[in-house]
Amino acid sequence: HLQFVESGGGLVQPGGSLRLSCATSGSTLGVYAIAWFRQVSGKEREGVSCITSTNRPTDYIDSVKGRFSISRDDAKNTVYLQMNSLKPEDTAIYYCAAGLSCRDVLTILLRPYDGWGQGTRVTVSS
């Protein structure tokens, strides 16, 4: 598995913004679709957004449409998640993972997977 380091989380007020980064070293991102996932304590991990190797973004969940934007910089081996208009329900630990397609990477949730990084914690609270 590609190993990622997630960063950029923090405490933000409702309505605020954060930009998360997902970086890998030692491997090139170029051929992979990269997805962001999140997990709230005590709940199942869910897919948030994904971007293909050809730079086509997709949102896995409706609740982030129009608020979150995923992008990639293959020269930096980094994928970003720009999160705007944050809501308390966006509070979670955010992770990223790679796959051959956005459908493929989502199947990580259906099988044993030991490639998760430490994630980055996002807390939206006043």
Residue 32 token pair? 């992979």
Predicted confidence at residue 3, as pLDDT, reads 87
Q: CB of 32 within 8 A of CB of 47?
A: no
Are residues 121 and 47 in contact, defined by beta-carbon separation less than 8 angstroms? no
> Which pLDDT belongs to residue 23?
95
Distances (CA, A) of 59 to 12, 25, 85: 22, 25, 16
Q: How far apart are the first and last CA of the chain?
A: 37
The pLDDT assigned to 36 comes to 98
List of residues 6+ apart from 62 with CB closer than 8 A:
none
Per-residue confidence (pLDDT) for residue 115, from 0 to 100: 87
* pLDDT for res 30: 84
Per-residue pLDDT of the chain (126 residues; tens, 9 = 90+): 788 999 999 999 999 999 999 999 877 888 899 999 999 999 999 999 999 999 999 999 999 999 999 999 999 999 999 999 999 999 999 999 999 999 999 999 998 888 899 999 999 999
